[in-house]
Structure formats: structure tokens, C-alpha cells
Amino acid sequence: MNELLRKSTRYFKTYEEREEAFRNSVFSLIPRKYSGPKLFWKDFGLISVQALSKYMKHPAAYITSNPRDCLAFGNPWQVLTAAVLKAQKADNGFSHDVLDIAKEFDIQENLYQPIRTLSGGETVKVSLAKSFIASKYSCRLTIASPFSWLSYDNSVFLEKLFRHYGGLNIPIEVFALEGEDSDGQIVRNDNCQKETDRRAIGFTLYLKGVRILLGTPLNPLYSQQTFARADDFESELFSPCLIVGKNGQGKSLIGKVLARATPFQGVAKLRCKHKSGPTRLLFQDVITQTLSRSFDAIAASSNCENEAKPSQVYEKILKEYLVCLGDTGQKASGNALKDDLRPRSLLEIKAMLVAVRLCRVPSALILDEPDWGLTRMSSIAFVSAVIRVSHDLETPVILISHKPWWFPIAKSVIYVKRSSKEIDSENRSSFQIYLRCNKPKSL
């Protein structure tokens, strides 16, 4: 890790503590979105002219824990163009071109792609490029949890931004969760990880002729809809299955296709002898997936198709989480798991979202970047608890991640890689997603 980056990073035990510290660094101008509309509108109502005035006097380039929240325009070209115009206003000598900066952060192929269709890592790189330009009109840089979004190979862009600000002697603050910047695999020597060896749940993944719509064009009069194509694929797999790849390779797109969470053409099936329902997905961006609902509203959102109720499955997940957390040598922080706590913690929200999905009897449960919003130890315990409860319900689990953490517990692995070299202009395909499977671990 870059030495300046290391010295500028503060670590926190919970998502809520990290968010509060970050919000204070920007004069509480960003309302909290993680615990329902009541807290959001309370924070929104407390935004004052005085706070805005302080920010104007001490402007900061900032990147929020969900980088989309700091990108106000429709595509990267618009975001960077607005930043360049502001930089030129602050410094007449500013001569950087949008395309040159996009190349610096490897987002030149994404310039006209709608922000909402970018992967998490691509969105962070756009935010980094915007912050690079913002050094001309900012007196400090503050970032929340960049490590949870960026794959290891893309950390060079974060270091590039830090070198830039360091060279200008502009103060830097990074707010991170404990262990989120680790690139080591988890240790497989405790009861928590051994639990995944208790049983083998097999399933088949089948993709044929899949074309994925990459969002509606921002200007439909002059733009064509574009698609990504997925390689035909069929394989016998075992749970937990890990889908792994670098940022922007198409991992989340495959997960959304399987969960019918994005429009696509072709055939995408997951067959499990224990289950026949649709696949269910927990997004990396859990806050968006709550749809601004309260915890109780989320709990009541499931039409159960088995005897288990969301509240019962939720309690099992938290119980197993505490067992697994003990196995990792950690203790639960604060009152995060108390039932009477309001607002609810992000961990509790994630556990309830999973419980609701498991009660719908899915053919599989997909967790997209499940470590988001959790410390390393907490995410290991959470994933292990979800696997244990899911397997008890005969439901396979698929993990999607760019991190190497999960290899020791994976029974099967799918490697995902994107190629833009074979663009099919006739069918308006922007890129191809290739999937390769290793041999399942012996059972």
C-alpha cells in the first residue's frame, strides 16, 4: 500500500461508525440512507445554510461509500466535463482533456455508458478521475471505503490519485472498515469454515445465447441500445460456488441475469434437484436494494412459500453469525444485534434481506460482494452463517467477488473475464463475457 495512503486511512469496527465519521468530515451534508426514510429525512431536515457555508469555504473532493452517490450526471463524459469546466473556472491554466483523464483511469471505453450500468469498480474509477480534476478547486480529499469496490489490480488508480494530491500538499482522509483492504485468503482452520464441508449441494448452471441489455440510452433519438453477450456455458457445480473476476468483467451481470434482475435475451437456468424456484440475489449495493424501506417493511415483504418465516430465518442467521464470529476470535461490536435497537445496523438489514429471499424457496441464493459494509472478520462470519442456514434449507449459495478471500471455502469456482476485442457491431454487442469453470473440489 502507498505510504501516504496507509498514513491517511482510519479504520472502524462498524459501517455505522465509519459513515458517521465520513459524514462529519463533509459537515453532515450527506443524509444517511441505510436505515429507512425516517432517518434520511431527519438528516435532510438538519442540513443548514451554515453547514453549506462551511463547505463552500473549505470545499472537499469526496467519494461516498456508494460511489454513485457522488456522481450527479448521466454518464462519465458528463461527470468529467462538468469537473473540467469547474477546474478551468478555478484555474485558467487547467488544460487537461476529458479523454486524456479517462485514459489515465482506464475508463475511456465507459465514457458514454450510463452511470447506472457501470460495475462498482468502474464507478469508483470514474469517481477517482473526477476527484483528480477536483484538486484544482478542493482543499482536501476524503474517501469512504474505496477498498471494498476496487479489485487488487485497480488499486493503482487509487494510489495515482493519492500521489497527485500528495504532490500538491492537499490533506487526505480515508475512512475504511477493519480488514477491508486485505488481499489474503481467509484461514480455513475453524468451525466456521469447516461447516461448509458438512454436506454437498449440487446444481447445474446453464447459459445459452444470452444477450444482456446495458441500460436504456440517455438519448434514444441518436443512440442505439447496446448489449453484452455471455459465453454459452453449462457445468455441474457445488455450493458454495464462487464467481470471481476483476472489476468490470461481468460478474454482477451474470448474477442479475440468473436472478432475472436485468433484461436479457436467451436462456439462463440454474437447476437444483432440491429447488425449482427462481434464483434470488443480494446486491452489493444493499442500501439501494432496501428501496428506502424500514426494517419492519423489509421483514413483511416476503410471501413465504415454506413453513419458515423471515423472522425465524433471520434469527437463525444472527445466531449462527455470533457463533462464527466467536470462531474468528472476535466479539460483536456495541449493540448491533439487539432487537430493540433503532435504527437497525447494516448487518441486521443484510441478514433480513437474505432471510426474506430464503423464505421464497429460491433455486439458489446469490451474494454479490458480500463483504460490502462489513469488516473482514464480520463478513467472514456473515457469509459462513448464511451458507450454514441456506444449506440447512437445501439452498445452494453462490458468492460473487473480486477478492481472493473466499477461495478456501468454495466447492466450485467460475472465472469470469470480459473481452471487448470481438465486438459484434451487427448485433450491437459492446463486449463478450467468458466463463471458465475449474473442477469441483472432491467431496
Q: Is the pLDDT of residue 151 over 60?
A: yes
What's the whole-number mean pLDDT along residues 206-218? Answer: 81
Dump pLDDT digits (tens) for 308-366: 789 999 999 999 999 998 865 565 554 445 545 457 899 999 999 999 999 988 999 99
Q: Is the pLDDT of residue 150 over 80?
A: yes
Q: Is the pLDDT of residue 376 over 80?
A: yes
The band of 223, judged by pLDDT with boundaries at 50, 70 and 90, is low
In DSSP notation, 293-345 reads --HHHHHT----SSS--HHHHHHHHHHHHHHHHHHTT----TTTT-TT-SSPP
The CATH fold assigned to 3-177 is: Rossmann fold (3.40.50)
Q: Is the pLDDT of residue 385 over 80?
A: yes
Asked if the domains at 3-177 and 191-437 fall in one CATH topology, the answer is: yes
**pTM score:** 0.88
What is the model's pLDDT at position 93?
Answer: 76
Q: Is the pLDDT of residue 235 over 90?
A: yes
Pick the CATH number of 191-437 from 1.10.760.10, 1.20.120.140, 1.20.810.10, 3.40.50.300: 3.40.50.300
The band of 94, judged by pLDDT with boundaries at 50, 70 and 90, is confident
What is the model's pLDDT at position 426?
Answer: 52
Percent of the chain surpassing pLDDT 70: 85
Domain ranges of the chain: 3-177, 191-437
What's the whole-number mean pLDDT along residues 155-169? Answer: 93
Q: Is the pLDDT of residue 67 over 80?
A: yes
